[in-house]
A and B are shown apart, each in its own frame.
Chain A
Amino acid sequence: MLGRTAASLFWMSRYQERAQNITRLMEVAYRGAIMAYDGQAEGHHWQFALACSGAETGYHEKHDELHSRHVTNYMVFSKDNPISIRNCLELTRNNARAVRTGITAELWEAINTTWIEFCDTSPQSVTQEKLPDFLAWLAQRSHLFRGALLNTVLRDDGYYFSQMGTFVERADNTARILDNQYWVLLPDNEIIEDGSSERYQWSAILRALSGRRSYRFAYPNAQLKAFNIAEFLILRREMPRSLAYCYDWLADTAEDLGHFYGSREPSLDLAADVFKDLKEKQMRDIYQEGLHDFLIDFIGKNNQFAHQLCEDYNFA
């Protein structure tokens, strides 16, 4: 396989995952903004979506106020925002086009149709009332992408590279959301009254990571506690967006890739090391180390893994 093909498959999946993550952040912000029972100004919720996705600075260069309409345009439709859903979908499609020969017709149709239908939607038509439906449609399209990938793509090197893209992006996204809100996840915040703003934020974090319902199953008493939420999103391997789950996949995929090529590269060992570390750690160790420091360190290692992968397999 061409090094460039490997790179395109990696980035195709990464951008699709990013589009999905932004979609979910926007859902959470929208929900918060319309409920606003927690005493926070509406703008606060939009701020959450901007901050967690790293688009805050870019947004404020263009707009002074946090206005739902402007945030929606910036995060969903803007060509100027490098991580807008529009740009992520376009980059997904461009990378997929570059490897038309390496992906299945089903996967291509899923990507291409999403892009065509997205382009057919005028930003003006997506009013605030229609935003939830539009975001739900986008989320469904992400699931279709992933379903087509898992169900139709040959299990060869191309598949492994696209898996790597998904989970590197997902791990990064989860770590950033946690880090953005890390102070509400500190264990001193253990006792919280109903209706307090922290409680709302916990639930927003869980929603942003599609984990609200699964959390209730994972923790039998179902009480929202900072310690449990942090553990759930960092260390619990049954939670599909947790850091441990992402590295479970990455380490496995790295192993498969090593077998496929019959040789082990440094990136594969990096993935194994990060996973081993997460498997052995307890939440108490992480708090001891400092949650923020741990997350920053993790984001760095995740990046390092992606760079090493790119070097080992000649991504052009």
Chain B
Amino acid sequence: MSDSSGFFNEMLEQDGSPRAPYSRIANWLKDKPNSFLSKKSRDAETIFRRLGITFAVYGAEAATERLIPFDPIPRIISASEWRRLSAGIDQRVRALNAFLHDIYHRQEIIRAGRIPADLILQNEAFLPEMAGFTPARKVYSHIIGTDLVRVSENEFYVLEDNTRTPSGVSYMMENRETMMRLFPELFQTHNVAPVERYPENLRQTLESVAPDPAKSEQTIVVLTPGIYNSAYFEHAFLADSMGVELVEGRDLFVDAGKVFMRTTRAPKQVDVIYRRIDDAFLDPLTFNPDSMLGVPGLFDAYRAGNVTICNAPGTGIADDKAIYAYVPDIIEFYTGQKPILNNVPTWNCSREDDLAYVLDNLAEIVVKEVHGSGGYGMLIGPTASKREIAEFRKILENNPSNYIAQPTLALSACPTHVASGIAPRHVDLRPFVLIGDQVRITPGGLTRVALKKGSLVVNSSQGGGTKDTWVLED
């Protein structure tokens, strides 16, 4: 199991002895035959399939719903590692919210010359309709999933700030449930921080940003595009675990500037909408007129302060890949502090020098589409064929400002159950943050794992799997 590949191994030191947070697990794994983990994996799959914990893959015919492979070996984070990570995340999400407020108001950061005006004002994710409007408690992005990767004992990088509609929190919770069913004995010997308070915390967060937080009963809904959406399971899961209605656009309507849902009885006024549909589809009167997913008049009701939309429209500008390179500046500008968590060095292909470097080094780096997600529209230089690189070069030259590039990172590897036994596979981590009357970070997150040997692609739509993430308490 020892790894001489030069990647940081989450479980083992260079000499093959276990790192402190993994000492018990390593010991427990030692005398388990491969058949034991194989059986547990099959048990887990049965649980997931019966519960319908699935996601849809766009464009994949027939198999419209798939399971995300689940790996039964947990990824473990020590209490001290977590303290540092959560301090860094806390700092980052506060700064991003301050940034959002600023660019939709006085735009001090542009005036100060810290970010080029064009990068924001010409950006598709910037919504001029939001200018001058202040959401409750000045919070724009209430639910954030921060993607982290680790390259060494003490080096974590933020890969992406998902400030629009981060998904995966239901997997974090179901993975934990499944682990507790499969290996109850491990929870007796490890002091694992619970993740089960997430739905309660989400509800508190949403209530705290209601138009009138003093009202005794807030009507909260989760707005989904419907059962064919790739994350539908999660939308239903969240509504269910918060005890609120899961609605589609057609269930809502606006009357006299207020939002109501159609019930079997009288219409019921809605205070907070946790929306899982994109900005462009929210309101056909303000945005995409062809959209059937949204609610006509919703945006006016929002601007009149009669309903809160979470996350706020226009938050996409904060996780835009072109803005990403400026996040360290954003943190310094709004908090006056050095960032606790590092960015991955990033080349912005809209800059001539950066583009030249990227074109010269395509075989060594990762190029990503600015608005892409889910591992689509990207090039991973080191594993791409010559032909793929040549084709990508043309695309990039045609529209350079649509791309950023980053060095390929030596992502840490975590022991993972594979056909031949246990082997290290690359992982990333998405902790989930809630921002309302306070910042709440759930101790844990979604660990995604690249199941193919050597692969750095962890996206579920590209065949990656997930693991339970344990944050140990002291």
Chain A residues packing against B (C-beta within 8 Å): 1-6, 94, 97-98, 100-101, 105, 108-109, 112-113, 116, 157, 161, 261, 263, 313-314, 316
Contact = CB atoms under 8 A, between A and B. Distances in A.
B139 interface: no
B229 to A, nearest CB: 11
Contact of A6 (B227, B233, B264): B264
Given A2-B264, A5-B245, 17 more contacts: A2-B245, A4-B247, A4-B250, A4-B251, A94-B227, A100-B233, A105-B51, A108-B51, A112-B51, A112-B52, A113-B50, A116-B50, A263-B265, A314-B262, A314-B263, A314-B264, A316-B262
B263 A2 contact: yes
A108 B52 contact: yes
A154 B237 CA distance: 19
Contacts of B264: 1-3, 6, 157, 161, 261, 313-314
B47 to A, nearest CB: 10
24 contacts: A1-B264, A2-B247, A2-B251, A2-B261, A2-B263, A2-B264, A4-B250, A94-B227, A97-B52, A100-B236, A100-B246, A101-B236, A101-B239, A101-B245, A101-B246, A109-B50, A112-B52, A116-B50, A161-B264, A263-B265, A313-B265, A314-B262, A314-B263, A316-B250
Contacts of B247: 2, 4
Contacts of B245: 2, 5, 101
Contacts of A105: 51
Contacts of A261: 264-265
B84 interface: no
A121 B76 CA distance: 40
Interface string B260-281: 0111110000000000000000
A117 B169 CA distance: 28
A105 B247 CA distance: 20
Most buried by B among A4, A98, A113: A4
A108 B251 CA distance: 23
B81 interface: no
Most buried by B among A1, A100, A113: A100
A28 B263 CA distance: 42
B24 interface: no
B61 to A, nearest CB: 13
Closest 9 CB pairs of A and B: A100-B236, A313-B264, A101-B240, A3-B262, A101-B239, A97-B227, A112-B52, A6-B264, A101-B246
Interface in B236-264: 236-237, 239-240, 245-248, 250-251, 261-264
Nearest to B247: A2
Nearest to A157: B264
Nearest to B236: A100
A1 B219 CA distance: 12
Contacts of A113: 50
Contacts of B239: 101
Contacts of B263: 1-3, 314
Given A101-B246, A108-B52, A113-B50, A4 B262 contact: yes
Nearest to A161: B264
A141 to B, nearest CB: 14
A4 B227 CA distance: 13
A65 B94 CA distance: 72
A51 B226 CA distance: 36
Contacts of A161: 264
Contacts of A314: 262-264
Interface residues of B, number: 23
Contacts of A112: 50-52
Most buried by A among B227, B237, B264: B264
A117 to B, nearest CB: 10
Contacts of A94: 227
A170 B301 CA distance: 45
A150 to B, nearest CB: 20
A237 B273 CA distance: 48
B49 interface: yes
A97 B65 CA distance: 12
Contacts of B265: 261, 263, 313
Nearest to B62: A119
A101 B237 CA distance: 7
B333 interface: no
Contacts of B334: none
A261 to B, nearest CB: 6
A157 B264 CA distance: 9
A15 to B, nearest CB: 15
A316 B52 contact: no
A116 B248 contact: no
A113 B47 CA distance: 11
Contacts of B248: 4
Most buried by A among B51, B232, B248, B265: B265
Contact of A97 (B232, B261, B262): B232
Contacts of A5: 245
A253 to B, nearest CB: 14
A1 B239 CA distance: 13
Contacts of A97: 52, 227, 232, 236
Contacts of A3: 251, 262-264
